[in-house]
A and B are shown apart, each in its own frame.
Chain A
Amino acid sequence: MTNQQSSTPLLEVDDGRHPHGYLSSVTRHLTSWRTAGIFIPFLTLFVVLSIASQPFLHTTNLLNILDQQASTLVIAAAGTLVLVSGGIDLSVGATYGLASVIAGQMAETHSPWVAIGVGLIVGLGIGLINGLIVAIFKINALVTTLAMSFVISGVATKVTSGNLIVLTSRAGFARFSNSTFLGVQSAVWWMVIVVVILALLLSRTTYGRYIVASGGNAEAARLAGVRVNMVRIGAYVLSGGAAGLAGIIDTSRVLSAEASAGGSALAFTVLAGIVVGGTSISGGEGSVWRTTIGVLFIALIGNGFDLLGIDPLYQQIVLGVILLIAVGLDVWARQRGR
């Protein structure tokens, strides 16, 4: 090994005498801006709403927001993995709908655990199909999952013949989402469990590393020995499973299910939350906990508009503008990072 002194100006950054040189401070700034980019607006909005609206800071209101967002957060956490792996899953809304109605129908005739199990299997199975089509047949992920969402919605409508399923006398199934533990609904607890598991999966495990590598540079990942296809299929399976679980959570929460629930509106809300959370739309960069903040940020905007009595029309406009800013920042960061 050589002990030669680096002499060219190029090597300045790793010269040892400047461990915190110009480049490293720029890059530290770059890695932190994604966090700051969502965290600061979120806190600001939180403080503003606390001041502007009396009922906002009430525990009931805050827990209500979490309860309502539980299913969205579960889907968005898994959707983050798909996006980071370099894909996209637009079928989550439809999967949510299909799992809802199937779990609802099963709950009418079977035990709650069978209903939950079947709902989950439906979600995981759809995820597997998505993954196989995208990874093995190399069909564009956006098109695949969009097409799949039509198919799944069609199946869901077929299953229910277009009817609303109402579960009035199914107390066992209702307990899945409506029990309380430490004063918090179980739907929220399920969400917390899923989010924590997926956040750790992405940031602390070898599989998480492989997801990031596959989305960051698929060719390099493959040559470095990563089974990129398997990694991506896994992400879609998790995404489908999460959408299924979300459908079950909501069916149990409101004790009714409908094929048209979820749909593209849910898929886009999830995507908006992930992107506002600073996860790169082109893969290779993202975090589950930032997605959580992103989804909650959007939820707070909705809640604030309701509490302050502003026309919901403006809510959409505001959300659209925020999304554009989030994507713009991502592009800017990528160009800087190169």
Chain B
Amino acid sequence: MSTPTPHQTASKKEPLVEVLNVSKRFGGVPSLTGVSLTVFSGSVHSLVGENGAGKSTLGKLISGVLTPDEGEIRIDGRTVAMRSPRDALSHGVVTIAQELAIVPGLSAAENVFLGVEPRRGWAIRRGALRAKYLELAERLNFQIAPDALAGSLSTAGQQQVEIMRALARQARLVIMDEPTAALSGAEVIALHGIIRSLAAEGKSVLLISHFLSEVLDLSDTITTLRDGRLVRTIPASEATENSLIEGMLGRSLDAAFPEKNPRSPRGRVVLSIKNLVAPKVSGVSFDLHEGEILGLAGLVGAGRSELARAIYQDARNQSGDVDMGGESLTSRSPTTPLRRGLALIPESRKEMGLFLGRSLKENVSISSLASISRYGWISPSAERREVSRLMARVAVKGAHPSMPASSLSGGNQQKLLFARTMMCAPRVLLADEPTRGVDVGSKRAIYDILVEFANSGMGVVVISSELEEVLGLAHRVLVMRSGTVVRELTDEDMNQKMILEAAFAGTLTNGVAK
């Protein structure tokens, strides 16, 4: 199974973690396929790639959160089977995730030594705890008082607490997943200093980041992933921003998409957004036309899903105008938008879309019970007929309407949401990541449904982190960054490079002193 990699001799540093040919699938959908890499001690190794390229999955495999389906992981040259983050910790691997895992009600010092407190019998030795904390904080030049309540610290402060916690556990490899995404400029520079000093101490850092300049600036080695496969691993000195972007893209559009009308339809406006402001959305305006598929591209966190939720009248505080066919939507819940013909397929079908334990029938009909009931009394035969018809239309074959939704594959679960949408017969559909976690066959079927919707005169907004998908489906693309639309692309401007440039611009120089 394993094929030993030749030891690289470019550096005198020792290999700490070796990943050999690992693969990981989720529900049959490959997330990583045959990836190998070596992290050397005392080095900063970065992972770059598009959303969904498998960076975080790889990080989770190395930190024991996930176990590989195939391949092996070696630490210090010995094969290890890590089943939990605790196992990984015993090998010196610690993760600092995007969502920080501090206990807000405990002090900084207590957080750092949580579970490894110096104790005498059952009692925690408070003096020793404090002394050890101060020693560690001084070594790293951190300014957080030992008694400071962790919950009261800034994000950067909490991150420092996590870094200290990692070191208090004798971590040798610290995995950081998008550590600077939530930090301000000065905090970013401080964190960069910390990462460098960790490497200087002989620790290794595995950095997962969208910010290419940061990656280029900090790393010794950069690994590029695309679609769960390794593109290349090169020394940072040989990489440029352009070469990294090339590596992250690098695939031609195949025939996975249905034919689309090449010209952007400019028919009647079915949805008009004016200066929409909501959490993570700062002033978005656009029109959607009859029969148009509008792509909404951008990085994760750019505010695309939040925009969709705001249009669907589902944001906590929002202002601005959402106009459908001359009528303004001003409700405080999604019930009215649905009645007016605006449907949403949410980004996470399990958490926000489906009732997994309930039958297919109930899942499909929930938004349009009025059409199959009289005086609130559901007609079982009408429901069965309607649901069977719709399931055939979205190509979920052979499944019985009374089977639970949990028994379907991811792709068919997603189609169930499309069947629900069809039953509402909306004029506008907002589809948020419509093919996330969906197998290839179902993907094509979903594309066909989207195109059919548009051909029947609906306006469709497709939000997707897969650029090919946006380009393959959309007549027009809006690129979002930090809550606003930064670029509108049509016709020949619609290509991956233009989208990526617009999506990454500004973040390319995130906080790095030039």
Contacts and interface: CB of A to CB of B under 8 A. Distances in A.
Contact of A10 (B27, B369, B378, B444): B27
A209 B403 CA distance: 16
Contact of A31 (B346, B355, B404, B440): B404
Contact of B335 (A14, A26, A225): A225
Contacts of B439: 8, 10-11
Interface stretch (B10-18, B142-150, B391-399): B391-399
A206 interface: yes
B405 to A, nearest CB: 10
B28 A27 contact: no
A58 interface: no
B353 interface: yes
B4 interface: no
B355 A14 contact: no
B406 A225 contact: no
A309 interface: no
Contact of A27 (B365, B393, B407): B407
Given A2-B395, A226-B366, A220 B404 contact: no
A219 interface: yes
Given A1-B452, A216-B355, A13 B420 contact: no
Nearest to B368: A225
A221 B355 CA distance: 8
Interface string A1-38: 11010111111011111110001101100110000000
B344 A223 contact: yes
Interface string A295-338: 00000000000000000000000000000000000000010011
Contact of A337 (B353, B399, B406, B452): B406
B352 A220 contact: yes
Contact of A11 (B334, B378, B411): B411
Contacts of A7: 441
Contacts of B449: 1
A338 B406 contact: yes
B401 to A, nearest CB: 12
A15 B370 CA distance: 31
B369 A14 contact: no
Given A15-B397, A16-B397, A206-B376, A284 B441 contact: no
B333 A227 contact: yes
Given A14-B408, A206-B369, A337-B406, A216 B357 contact: yes
B275 interface: no
B496 interface: no
Given A204-B377, A216-B355, A1 B448 contact: yes
Nearest to B440: A8
A337 B359 CA distance: 12
B373 interface: yes
A26 B356 CA distance: 15
B259 to A, nearest CB: 13
A227 B440 CA distance: 35
Contacts of A284: 355, 357-358
B145 to A, nearest CB: 34
A222 B356 contact: no
Contacts of A334: 357
A16 B354 contact: no
Contact of B355 (A8, A17, A205, A217): A217
B351 A220 contact: yes
B488 interface: no
A8 B354 CA distance: 23
Nearest to A215: B355
Nearest to A4: B441
A18 B398 contact: yes
Residue in A206, A224, A284, A334 whose Cβ sees the most chain B Cβ within 10 Å: A224
Contacts of B380: 204
Interface in B426-451: 439-442, 444-445, 448-449
Given A221-B366, A227-B333, A30 B404 contact: yes
13 contacts: A8-B439, A11-B411, A11-B441, A14-B398, A14-B399, A30-B404, A31-B404, A205-B378, A212-B362, A217-B354, A222-B314, A225-B335, A284-B358
Identify the 6 closest CB pairs spanning chains A and B, nearest first: A16-B398, A225-B338, A206-B369, A10-B409, A216-B355, A14-B399
Given A10-B28, A14-B399, A337-B357, 7 more contacts: A19-B398, A27-B403, A27-B406, A205-B378, A206-B370, A219-B351, A226-B366
